[in-house]
Amino acid sequence: MKIITGGVCAAKGYKASGVHCGIRRNQTKKDLALIVSEKKATTCAVYTRNLVKGAPLTVTKGNISDGYAQAVICNSGNANTCNADGIEIAEKMCELVQGATGVDAKDVVVASTGVIGQPLSITPIENAMDELASLLGEDGNFDCASAIMTTDTIQKEVAVEFEIGGKICRMGGCAKGSGMIHPDMATMLVFITSDVCISKDMLQKALSSDVDATFNMLSVDGDTSTNDMVTVMCNGMAENDEINAEGESFDTFMKALNTVTMTLCRMIAADGEGATKMLECNVTGADSLDTARTVAKSVVCSSLLKAAMFGADANWGRVLCAIGYSKAEVDVTKVRVSFSSDKGEILVCENGAGVPFSEEKAKEILLEKEIDINVNLGDGDYSSKAWGCDLTYDYVKINGDYRT
């Protein structure tokens, strides 16, 4: 397993592009992305459980109900959510892809991100489709990753190369996400492409299993989006024997998928709105996986702890507090907590009580860009990780006038 370049274009048979079509006011920002596979691909997705869902999710769910897709179109700047004509607009976007590329409209994944409740005009998208299609290329991954961004400050993409059954395989992905991130079954917008040959049932099993340990363990601000979706397309062009059951090949595929999703998780956490630090909570010693996950996510979701991390304040009591209200069955008298970064590690709590430590050393550790919050529950062999970021003044500034 090795990291390579290329993002969503790294695997065989994929091209991508991104342009500014006019949905966003800033003409320097791309706002329309397209990914096309040379061949129809086995495709699956997971979606937000928010009862308020963007129209594109409804259309996508219908389009890939047969387990296949061949293209992805995504706009930024407008979520196409809570609009009376939302379904019509999303379906029209798919039809525009068909007209420009020849891909059947029913084989298109459609996604939107941005402001909720604002009508989305099809005109700028329609006017840009010919250019968007003409720019499709095997080096279009960066433009594609740029076009799906909203308040993101960096493009988020990764790709890996691995071997299955003697065949070289590749997988790549791009994501957008900076605020309104607190997933429930999916997160933000994530598009993953691969040339592996895998059955639709095993692909769905792989993705559903993976998101519980990755994207569902990520939180920036506690708000679950209306448009969260993760999709995976596998066009089989690596020509490996189809993966249709668990075994070595499936395990390798899962490892590749987890490498891609874990990397994107960390990128999203580090780029949280207004964030200056990426937080990773490592929970060990839990009596069950559910307990480990519940505690880890409760800690990274704590606004008080996130604020303390912004101030480089080793206020470990806020970790215990978050564990206490997580509703996990935990014996707090066994809990051990430490903070660590590239500057070292410092123990701050043992057996549920504070221990003497150097405030100066703790501050040095917590001033780093990536901070680990290590929690040992002392009650079993299960573990889990969760990712988040600090809470800063800029988060309020960004969201105070986001719409206007």
184 with 65, same domain: the answer is: yes
Q: Which of 244, 270, 296 is the last residue of a domain?
A: 270
265 with 206, same domain: the answer is: yes
CATH number assigned to the domain comprising residue 302: 3.10.20.340
CATH number assigned to the domain comprising residue 25: 3.60.70.12
pLDDT, mean over the chain = 95
265 with 304, same domain: the answer is: no
Listed residue (135, 192, 195) closest to 163, CA to CA: 195
Q: What region does 37 belong to: left with phi over 0, alpha with psi -120 to 50, or beta? A: beta
7 with 42, same domain: the answer is: yes
Residue pair 171/207 in contact by the 8 Å Cβ criterion: no
The pLDDT of residue 402: 74
- Asked if pLDDT for residue 132 goes beyond 90, the answer is yes
**For residue 283, what are the CA distances in angstroms to 186, 199, 241, 331?**
22, 34, 38, 14
d(CA 243, CA 222): 37
Average pLDDT over residues 274-289: 97
Number of domains in the chain: 2
> From the candidates 187, 224, 259, 392, which is the catalytic residue?
187
Q: Which of 213, 246, 270 is the last residue of a domain?
A: 270
- Asked if pLDDT for residue 403 goes beyond 80, the answer is no
Average pLDDT over residues 265-272: 93
pLDDT in tens, 51-110: 989 999 999 999 999 999 999 999 999 999 999 999 999 999 999 999 999 999 999 999
- The burial of 342, by beta-carbon neighbours within 10 Å (0-12 exposed, 13-18 middle, 19 or more buried), is given as exposed
Q: Which helix (H) or strand (E) holds 270?
A: helix 248-270
Q: Name the pTM for this structure.
A: 0.93
Listed residue (320, 316, 365) closest to 345, CA to CA: 365
303 with 213, same domain: the answer is: no
How does residue 186 score in pLDDT terms, banded at 50, 70 and 90?
low
114 with 14, same domain: the answer is: yes
d(CA 92, CA 55): 12
Strand order in the sheet with 353-354: 353-354, 344-350, 336-341, 370-376, 278-286, 382-389
- The burial of 51, by beta-carbon neighbours within 10 Å (0-12 exposed, 13-18 middle, 19 or more buried), is given as exposed
Q: Which amino acid is at 402?
A: Y
232 with 318, same domain: the answer is: no
Percent of the chain with pLDDT over 90: 89
d(CA 58, CA 88): 11
d(CA 385, CA 404): 36
Q: Which of 245, 270, 295 is the last residue of a domain?
A: 270
List the end-to-end C-alpha distance of the chain, in Å, as a whole number.
45
Give the range of the structural domain holding residue 294, as residue numbers without chain letter: 278-400
201 with 304, same domain: the answer is: no
**For residue 34, what are the CA distances in angstroms to 79, 100, 103, 191?**
16, 11, 12, 11
Percent of the chain with pLDDT over 70: 99
- Asked if pLDDT for residue 185 goes beyond 70, the answer is no
252 given a catalytic annotation: no
198 with 220, same domain: the answer is: yes
pLDDT in tens, 7-24: 999 999 999 999 999 999
How does residue 229 score in pLDDT terms, banded at 50, 70 and 90?
very high
The DSSP string of 195-226 is: ---B-HHHHHHHHHHHHHHTGGGB-SSSPPPS
- Asked if pLDDT for residue 180 goes beyond 90, the answer is no
**C-alpha torsion 86→115→105→239, nearest 10:** -150
**For residue 313, what are the CA distances in angstroms to 250, 350, 369?**
44, 18, 14
289 with 390, same domain: the answer is: yes
The pLDDT of residue 187: 59
- Asked if pLDDT for residue 353 goes beyond 70, the answer is yes
- Asked if pLDDT for residue 41 goes beyond 80, the answer is yes
* Neighbouring C-beta atoms of residue 396, cutoff 10 Å: 11
257 with 296, same domain: the answer is: no
d(CA 155, CA 186): 19
> Kind of pairing, strands 32-47 and 229-234?
antiparallel
254 with 284, same domain: the answer is: no
pLDDT in tens, 142-153: 999 999 999 899
Average pLDDT over residues 311-332: 97
b (16+ CB within 10 A) / e for 2-31: eeeebbbbbbbbbbbbbbbbbbbeeeeebb
- Asked if pLDDT for residue 184 goes beyond 80, the answer is no
- Asked if pLDDT for residue 183 goes beyond 90, the answer is no
d(CA 350, CA 65): 51
> Kind of pairing, strands 382-389 and 278-286?
antiparallel
